[in-house]
Chain A
Amino acid sequence: MGSEELLVTEGLTKDFGGLRAVDHVDLTVHRGEIHGIIGPNGAGKTTLFNLITGYLRPTEGKVTFKGRRIDGLPPHRIVYLGIARTFQIVRPFTELSVLENVLVAWGHRHYGGIGPFLPYASERRHAMEILEEVGLADRAHLPAGTLPIGYQRRLEIARAMALEPELMLLDEPAAGLTEEEIVGLKGLVRGLVERGITVILVEHRMTFVMDICGVITVLDHGRVIAEGTPEEVAHDPAVIEAYLGSADAAG
């Protein structure tokens, strides 16, 4: 594991009305890691993602990426700084083709200045390379809305790869996938790390998380209750209680 601190949150807190969804979370993600975030439903995992990626403004606390404060920046600015994300519920641009979906993301370097008024044809090849890497090349020209869920998840990751981020946040990438598809997904995520991308992932599928993550942070009621290697976390009494204490037992 690399030792450079890539992303640091300090005292990160988010209130929705009277509900504290994220409660003074201190998280440190090192470069080159696959960092898992787990916890029962409603533990604040997705809210944490939304705080890091600029979709929500923290009530308190700060987020630092490569030593620079990013809380309060709009989502598209955070993308430019090198953080990409996927969504728990896939959000392909259904009317665009699979290839165009990836091009939209690849285009992020052309959305300023006169860039929007330049043709994209010359950079189609880059998008095709990414589609080949995630195994969607033969479906490049289908409307993205017609893909089955497993492929739509791959498309989400392909789009995030096209942003060429240093840090990628995957929100439940294994949700709705078959065991077979999960094997493919593992390869895909490990491939991201080989490309030099640091990964944070929120996930419910425990075998997947335990298998792939180097570090796991456990959230419950918006608070960090444990952090460590998969073995450490799995044997932590607080974690066992949080999971067995809720109706939603780890599977």
Chain B
Amino acid sequence: MTLGYLLTVGTFTGIFMILTLSLNILTGYAKQVSLGHAAFFGIGAYAAAILATKAGLSFWAALPCVVVITTVVGVFLGLPSLRVSHDFLVLSTIGLNFIVGAVFRYFPFFGGSMGIVNIPSPTFFGRPLGTVGYFGLTLVFVVLAVLTSLYFSRTWGRLAMEAAGEDETAAKAMGINVAKFKIYAFAISSAYAGIAGALWAHYVGSVFPENFGFDRSIDILAMLVLGGLGTIRGAIFGAFLLQVLPEALRVIQDYRMLISGAVLAIMMVFQPMGLLGKGSILHVGFQRAWKAVRYGFGRAPGN
């Protein structure tokens, strides 16, 4: 294995970490289950591709525009969540994924099935970013995504989203404008997905409709569910596991969809909170171990 290969795996893993953090806001906090998250990712990637190839903007100049475009479209695509909930929302997000995919495929403006190619690699102070540089760039955005997620998890907005996501009737009685916080969740989640999309487009150098299909949405959801819905550590860990493991075991690479599907099904039945989620086996185990270390083995704290 060469360093370049490892850095490539690292860059893709970083992009997926940003995506799981993005989905964590929407599905983990606001409990709006999205099976179409690749659509938001794709909108970010296509926005970056078009701004770079047709408008000639640099990565840096385009990035704020990409975030704005993805957020606006994300809010628009989130509007159905105000009318439908739970199972029906899941179905409508699948539908959105296919609609967005079809728009990329059938509208010549988006390059059709030939996609958009020759997206330039970003430069940094006039010098092109190599593999190392791009990994560093991705890492910076992963760290930013983690820090902003950590910050957001400590805000009134996260509390309101969780409340509105769990019980709309009770949330309204707490003075929460449920519709507003659902839309906030779609907006924030889309902004992260937009950054992930831009990183993808400029790294791969091309975008095709099939990069952002339904199977990709399943991948992203499987990562978050495996790690632990509603937790930042879970989002990071899940993306790491499902992105790095298949690379390490090349044999299973061809069975990606099988793995993602199986992970979703198995986790939902046996560990719905994920490997590192609140109340999961590992999380409780870590807490016990930590207490044992802190208070001395054999002595239970408190009682």
Contacts and interface: CB of A to CB of B under 8 A. Distances in A.
A93 B171 CA distance: 9
Interface in A75-102: 75-76, 79-80, 84-87, 91-96, 100
B85 to A, nearest CB: 16
Contacts of A104: 159-160, 162-163, 171, 174, 176
B159 A103 contact: yes
Interface stretch (A114-122, A204-212, A227-235, A237-245): A114-122
SS class of chain A's interface: helix, strand, loop or mixed? mixed
A108 B176 contact: yes
A76 B171 CA distance: 8
Interface stretch (B18-26, B118-126, B150-158): B150-158
B156 A115 contact: yes
Interface string B138-176: 000000000000011011110110110011011111111
Contacts of A85: 173
A27 to B, nearest CB: 20
A105 interface: yes
A94 B273 CA distance: 14
B135 interface: no
A74 interface: yes
Centre residue among A75, A85, A110, A118 by max chain B CB count within 10 A: A75
B184 interface: yes
A116 B160 CA distance: 8
Nearest to A121: B154
Nearest to A79: B175
A120 B159 contact: yes
B176 A111 contact: yes
Contact of A110 (B156, B230, B278): B156
B184 A87 contact: no
Nearest to B229: A95
A151 interface: no
A31 interface: no
Contacts of B181: 111, 116
A213 to B, nearest CB: 22
B253 interface: no
B175 A108 contact: yes
Nearest to B161: A116
A105 B175 contact: yes
A53 interface: yes
B205 to A, nearest CB: 35
Contact of B172 (A74, A92, A96, A115): A74
Interface of A: 53-55, 74-76, 79-80, 84-87, 91-96, 100, 103-105, 107-108, 110-111, 115-121, 143, 159-160, 163
27 contacts: A53-B173, A76-B172, A79-B172, A79-B174, A87-B173, A91-B167, A91-B170, A93-B171, A95-B230, A96-B166, A100-B159, A104-B159, A104-B160, A104-B171, A104-B176, A107-B159, A107-B174, A107-B175, A111-B160, A111-B175, A117-B155, A119-B156, A120-B156, A120-B159, A143-B278, A159-B174, A163-B174
